[in-house]
Amino acid sequence: MKPDPRECALYSAEQVRRIDRAAIESLGIDGYVLMQRAAAAAFACLRTHWPQARRVLLLVGHGNNGGDALLLGVLALEAGLAVDALVLGGQGSGDAARARADFIAAGGVLQPAHAGLALPPADVVVDGLFGSGLSRAVDGVARELIAQLAEAAVGVLALDVPSGLDADRGVPRGIAVRADVTLCMVAWKRGLFTAAAADHCGRRELALLDLPASLHAAFEPEAQLLDATLFARLPPRRADSSKGSHGHVLVIGGDHGYGGAVQLAAGAALRTGAGLVSVATRAAQVGALNAALPEAMARGVETDAELDALLARADVLALGPGLGTGEWSRHLLARSLASDMPQVVDADALNLLAQAPRALGAASVITPHPGEAARLLGCSVAQVQEDRYAAVRELARRHACVAVLKGSGSLVAAPDGRVAVCPWGNPGLASGGTGDVLTGVIAALLAQRMPAWDAACVGVAAHARAGDLAAREGMRGLIARDLWPLLRRVLNGLER
């Protein structure tokens, strides 16, 4: 069966509200029917993940998110479960008020939430406080409830969006629910997949509420989730080919004390399928590199002539791993950037680029982490993380190239505004050298004649999935070299 494209489409909260309104106004679907569908999907989700639950606690806001929770409560009561409902102040109106009436008619009791109130015991807590409609920092009684919930040893199901999490940016508004499962309604909200979202959403599931695809098709998604089908973009390995058929990557970096960085990038490029990999580095690094990675051709570079000879033979440059920021580093970078071949720019090369910004061209890729992105954009790391979507788009626009903003929910942006989001990866990848591995991966894909956008998307996905395979033995202690053999498995489809 062909996958539903809505499974990978990410929308802003406002776009989803417009899709919801279109269902009511254009298709004539009653708003209360949509609320009932949401409640049915949520109750089914609860039963799937907590089949032994006998007592359910509803945290109820006065909007439609609270209405969804109360109608879930109706279904739970009908199934013979015990249900408690703590309700924030405000009577609600429209469909939310009707849901309150139906909950009471089903035998439910609404208990007003107030300061100092302890959460009743429960097997599962259903978060129906705010959903995606929150536009301010969480305060007052709601903040107390969320703080208590964080300390409770209980399963948490968030409806639509964990309350307090910004649905567009993935950052908490002061405080946010940490759910075990988040059931997103109607369409994916883009903020569920980046920044702090992974710490708050738990397992993410989508309920389309039986809405036709034509509703969503009327709105251009803000971003797209990467999925496993993108590996079909990898070029075939023809029988009548040679090492020259698969591109030549030149890794440039490895100042004194940083030879490991270029080794990690070069090894990743080889494992990703580059036919040839050379390394331009300090002469003192060459012996160790040749001994550790004989498949790569390491050369000491101290003069323009030595670098030019390597540039003349390469197809793609990987600039920055262990490059440093001294005079030697600046000279290599300036001469390399002046070439017209595709480039992956990372690490110290980005720090130097921040001091002398320039356009790199559509065939190139930059791969900053939030700190490097902040230097490139002239802002703080907090500002980058506050709106990662805006930051990665500006990086791509400013440097006229494809940009990868690394981190939880890595983002890929093109100069035309397209954004892709990586749903894979784990905290084990937060260790020294994994970024150098990503540089080598993307450079090798460029060398195999993939367009920059495809190379960045496939590279980010392969790197993250290799990290997830490595994390099966535990995230703590995962090191960059662990990714090398796993990249080969991922890119050859052996882990799918």
Whether residue 1 is predicted with pLDDT greater than 70 in this model: the reply is: no
Q: What domains can you pick out in the chain, each with its CATH number? A: 5-224 (3.40.50.10260), 228-491 (3.40.1190.20)
Q: Has residue 488 got a pLDDT over 70?
A: yes
- Three-state SS for the chain is CCCCHHHCEEECHHHHHHHHHHHHHCCCCCHHHHHHHHHHHHHHHHHHHCCCCCEEEEEECCCHHHHHHHHHHHHHHHCCCEEEEEECCCCCCHHHHHHHHHHHHCCCCEEECCCCCCCCCCCEEEEECCHHHCCCCCCHHHHHHHHHHHHCCCEEEEECCCCCECCCCCCECCCCCCCCEEEEECCEEHHHHCCCHHHHHCEEEEECCCCCHHHHHCCCCCEEECCHHHHHHCCCCCCCCCHHHHCEEEEECCCCCCHHHHHHHHHHHHHCCCCEEEEEECHHHHHHHHHHCCCCEEEECCCHHHHHHHHHHCCEEEECCCCCCCHHHHHHHHHHHCCCCCEEECHHHHHHHHHCCCCCCCCCEECCCHHHHHHHHCCCHHHHHHCHHHHHHHHHHHHCCEEEECCCCCEEECCCCCEEECCCCCHHHCCCCHHHHHHHHHHHHHHCCCCHHHHHHHHHHHHHHHHHHHHHHCCCCCCHHHHHHHHHHHHCCCCC
Q: What percent of the chain has pLDDT over 70?
A: 100
Instruction: Provide the percentage of residues in the chain whose pLDDT is more than 90.
Output: 97
**pLDDT score for 133:** 79
Examine the pLDDT at 2 and tell me if it is beyond 80: no
Query: Does position 386 have pLDDT exceeding 90, yes or no?
Result: yes
pLDDT of residue 234 exceeding 70, the answer is yes
The mean pLDDT value for 101-122 works out to 96
Q: Per-residue pLDDT averaged across 458-482, rounded?
A: 98
pLDDT in tens, 327-357: 999 999 999 999 989 999 999 999 999 999 9
| Average pLDDT estimate for 222-235 | 96
Per-residue model confidence (pLDDT) at position 90 = 75
pLDDT band (50, 70, 90) for residue 131: confident
Average confidence score pLDDT of the chain:
96
Using one digit for the tens of pLDDT, what is the confidence trace for 399-427?
999 999 999 999 999 999 999 999 999 99
Assign 207 a pLDDT band (cuts: 50, 70, 90): very high
pLDDT at 101 > cutoff 70: yes
- Per-residue pLDDT for 495 more than 90? no
The band of 496, judged by pLDDT with boundaries at 50, 70 and 90, is low
